[in-house]
Amino acid sequence: MLTLKELLAEFRALKISLSLKFIIGVAAVLSVAMGVSLYFISRNHEQLILKQVDQQAKTLFRQIILTREWVADHGGVFVEKVPWKGASPYLAEPEIVDVQGRRYTKESPAMVTKELSKYALEKGLYWFHITSLRLVNPENAPDPFESEALHEFEDRLKTEASMIERTGTARYYRYIAPLYIEDSCLQCHAHQGYKVGDVRGAISIAVPMDYAFSMIRSGRRDMVLASIATISILMIVLYVMMKELVLRPVKQLKASMQEFYGGEGDQTSLIRTGDEIEELSKSFIDMSKALTGYHTSLEKKVQAATKSLEEANARLTELNERKSDFIAKISHELRTPMTSIKGAMDYLHARIPTISRSSGDTEEIMEFLEVVKKNSDRLIRMVNDTLDLERIESGMFDLHYSQVKMLSLIKEVIISFQTITAARGITFQIVSVPATAVSADQDRIRQVLINLVSNAINFSPDNSEIRITVTETDRSVIVTIRDQGPGIPQEVREKIFDKFYTVGNRYGTGLGLAICKGIIEAHKGEIRVADTGEKGAGICFTLPRKGNDKPCY
């Protein structure tokens, strides 16, 4: 039997496949088919229009050739001279005068061609241009398209050439074909070394393409609109059929499922359609009855399990509170006797030299007391460090913020170690921005500096230097402490901030760097091992001025 989850998944799949997927699928297939058909029809239509334009250009070319041949066969034509036009300087007898004193200028085939081109251009119909590589009239100089075609004509590579050229916002279909030397042409061009059959030049024709492209766009638009209308009508018919035959009963089944899922109805009615949807409705009714019984028993089991978990959680909370309370109390209880022992040892350490000046055991007693004193000091530090670390980890670590001047605080910490460093010849070099200040808990930052400077002193050789650098950015203050000791091995750099981890056999509790890390991170800062680039070790920590993290560098 199907579960509710499986039935809902089948329902979703059924809905999508019968409605959305079917409609989208049919629309996609029709769109692709229409698109492919439109593409080929549009391309053929465009090629047909371009062929018509090409045929028009060729017809114009033949008409111009016929006109030129007629003029050439008649030795040129004479037209009445107009005041704004002079005689041609390229003809032997450019002018004649009739018996009435009227002047006529002679027009050669090339001149007639040029005049007709200007006239056609003024009318906005088309324009043509006669050109040659061996010019008589500089106005007939070829443009790049014409020059390339002329060279190909002379090399007998082509007998015609064409292209679509854009001039500003207008487009033109350009056609060019060669002009060959005939007998009538030698009268004017024999002196240039031509012979019959040579390529004298060419005539290029430019036919406006804007109307042709508007026809192409109009045809494409009409075909697209017709396709959209066809697909839309078909989709509407399919949707109506799908809605009546499939969507309506499926919505009824969906409503029954939602009522059962929301607990609004205990029984669902059978949807009678006489097809697969009716079978699905029967399966859902059977499943809903089984799930109702199963849900009742499962709810009881969940309530019992929830009660057990609540009791276990309360027990764990109580144990955790007891653990924290135990650690706090035992730390407090250990601190009191250790402090008393230390006080007693300090007193004995001060009094025994006076009491036992004549005794030979004074030196041995003093050494013993010194060992006791050091161990009691170490126990007190361990208890204090354990208590501080417990407060940090339990989130009970309160910070009292104030404006801390880092340079003054560093000098204060260095002075507290002056006796130890002077005896070992260790010096300090401080590089700091004078105005460096940060909002922090001064006592806790002092604790961090004491731990880091103490570590640097412990690991520094005699007569060495400890370098403390303080830099600042717009958001952070960065403090770096470097010594000239043996350095920190690469493989333990990630471990030195762990609890109770120590490097070598140095004297310490192994909690100092862990506490430093907790204090810095409580300030939303960062602490890590800094690369010194030379012998020695470096620790770097960052304190944000406004609560923003800034990594060390």
pLDDT at residue 533, as a whole number:
66
Return the CATH number at 143.
3.30.450
End-to-end CA distance of the chain: 65
pLDDT at residue 497, as a whole number:
80
Residues 61, 175: Cα–Cα separation, whole Å: 9
pLDDT above 70 for 177: yes
Of 185, 208, 231, at which residue does a domain stop? 208
Domain-located, residue 144: yes
Domain-located, residue 201: yes
Q: How many helices (H) and strands (E) does the chain have?
A: 13, 14
Domain-located, residue 490: yes
Q: If pLDDT is split at 50, 70 and 90, which confidence band does 466 have?
A: very high
pLDDT at residue 479, as a whole number:
92
Residues 472, 406: Cα–Cα separation, whole Å: 11
Can you give the residue range of the structural domain that contains 134? 108-208
| Three-class secondary structure assignment of 435-486 | CCEEEEEHHHHHHHHHHHHHHHHHHCCCCCEEEEEEEECCCEEEEEEECCCC
Domain-located, residue 392: no
| Three-class secondary structure assignment of 78-139 | EEECCCCCCCCCCCCCCEEECCCCCEEEEECHHHHHHHHHHHHHHCCCCEEEEECCCCCCHH
Return the CATH number at 538.
3.30.565.10
Strand partners, 130: 203
Residues 270, 283: Cα–Cα separation, whole Å: 10
Cβ atoms 436, 405 nearer than 8 A:
yes
Residue 178's φ and ψ, nearest 5 degrees, are -80, 160
Q: What is the DSSP string of 25-88?
A: HHHHHHHHHHHHHHHHHHHHHHHHHHHHHHHHHHHHHHHHHHHHHHHHHTT-EEEE--TT----
Specify the DSSP element, H or E, that contains 497.
none
Which of 425-429, 500-504, 547-551 comes out lowest in average pLDDT? 547-551
pLDDT digits (tens, 9 = 90+) for 298-331: 888 888 888 888 888 888 887 677 666 656 666 6
pLDDT digits (tens, 9 = 90+) for 86-98: 666 656 666 767 7
Q: Which conformational region is residue 533 in: left (phi greater than 0), alpha (psi within -120 to 50 degrees), or beta?
A: left
Q: What is the DSSP string of 276-325?
A: HHHHHHHHHHHHHHHHHHHHHHHHHHHHHHHHHHHHHHHHHHHHHHHHHH
Residues 312, 91: Cα–Cα separation, whole Å: 120
pLDDT at residue 414, as a whole number:
92
Span 236-261, mean pLDDT? 75
**Among 459, 548, 538, 451, which Cα is nearest to 505's?**
459
Of 208, 237, 266, at which residue does a domain stop? 208
Residues 467, 538: Cα–Cα separation, whole Å: 9
Domain-located, residue 246: no
**Among 489, 497, 474, 495, which Cα is nearest to 535's?**
489
Of 148, 178, 208, at which residue does a domain stop? 208
Which of 1-5, 308-312, 436-440 comes out lowest in average pLDDT? 1-5
164 token code pair = 């679509």
Q: Is 110 exposed, middle or buried (0-12, 13-18, 19+ CB in 10 A)?
A: buried
Mean pLDDT rounded to a whole number for the chain: 77
Domain-located, residue 335: no
Domain-located, residue 366: no
Q: How many separate domains does the chain show? A: 2
Residues 134, 111: Cα–Cα separation, whole Å: 16
